[in-house]
Chain A
Amino acid sequence: DTEVTQTPKHLVMGMTNKKSLKCEQHMGHRAMYWYKQKAKKPPELMFVYSYEKLSINESVPSRFSPECPNSSLLNLHLHALQPEDSALYLCASSQGTGGRVDTQYFGPGTRLTVL
């Protein structure tokens, strides 16, 4: 099973709301990722967790707060977002054994709209 699940599929929120995106995998992977993808653009890496520890933060604004409660779950907490944060948010996971050939498996994404 190479499935990464993400909830919700769609989310509409106001600029003062607090919401969370959830990602789950049961492949035993130890690396998990959050990407942001704007329309007609490639995914942009936001965060990387390795063995439940944050290993990369690509200078993402603090209104995005990641959390990795355990090796299967990854959350992205959202607060005080701006309309320009509207995008498709993708979660991915990989074995996390290190190295450059670790294949990433992507979830279907959450389509976020900020009003």
Chain B
Amino acid sequence: AQSVTQLGSHVSVSEGALVLLRCNYSSSVPPYLFWYVQYPNQGLQLLLKYTSAATLVKGINGFEAEFKKSETSFHLTKPSAHMSDAAEYFCAVSPEGYSSASKIIFGSGTRLSIRP
């Protein structure tokens, strides 16, 4: 069964610094992977998704993620953090064998804090 593991429940970086949020997946078939962001008191917003077309995926707000099969990883990065990036970030995977509607399994989440 597919699953994702997010390393680090809380990450703190300085404004302008590199953001790196880690996600490792477990899957017996090619995975479809997602990163969602949740700002305080809001719903989830899709940042980007990997569907096997290209290993480097660019998303909104300057974020990107690279799919590395050899490392079973899909880490999220942003070159320069902004105060507005402070939020909860969820990595997610779409399990195989699902056809009537999509289903996604979320990781435990990583809270990103930005220091001035």
Question: Could you tell me which A residues sit within 8 Å of B by CB distance?
Answer: 4, 6, 31, 33, 40-43, 45, 48-50, 55-56, 90, 92, 94, 96, 98-109, 111
For residue B90, give the distance in angstroms from its CB to the closest CB of chain A: 6
Residue of A nearest to B99 (CB): A98
A-B contact pairs, 22 of them (CB 8 A): A6-B43, A31-B102, A42-B90, A43-B106, A45-B103, A94-B102, A98-B99, A98-B101, A98-B102, A100-B95, A100-B96, A100-B102, A101-B32, A102-B101, A103-B46, A104-B46, A104-B102, A105-B46, A106-B45, A107-B43, A108-B41, A109-B43
Using Cβ atoms and an 8 Å threshold, which residues of chain A touch B94?
A: 100-101
Residues on B with beta carbons closer than 8 Å to the beta carbon of A98: 99-102
- Shortest Cβ distance from B109 into A: residue: A42
How many A-B residue pairs have C-beta atoms within 8 angstroms? Tell me. Answer: 74
Counting contact residues on chain B (CB < 8 A from A), the size range is 20 to 34
Q: Which label, helix, strand, loop or mixed, suits the secondary structure of the B interface?
A: loop
Whether B102 pairs with A106 at a CB distance below 8 angstroms is no
B-side interface residues toward A, CB under 8 Å?
Answer: 32, 36, 41-46, 49, 51, 90, 94-96, 98-104, 106-109, 111
Assuming the contacts A90-B43, A109-B42, asked whether A42 and B102 have C-beta atoms less than 8 A apart, the reply is: no
**A56 to B49 alpha-carbon distance, docked (Å):** 23
**5 nearest interchain CB pairs?**
A102-B102, A42-B106, A106-B43, A31-B101, A100-B94
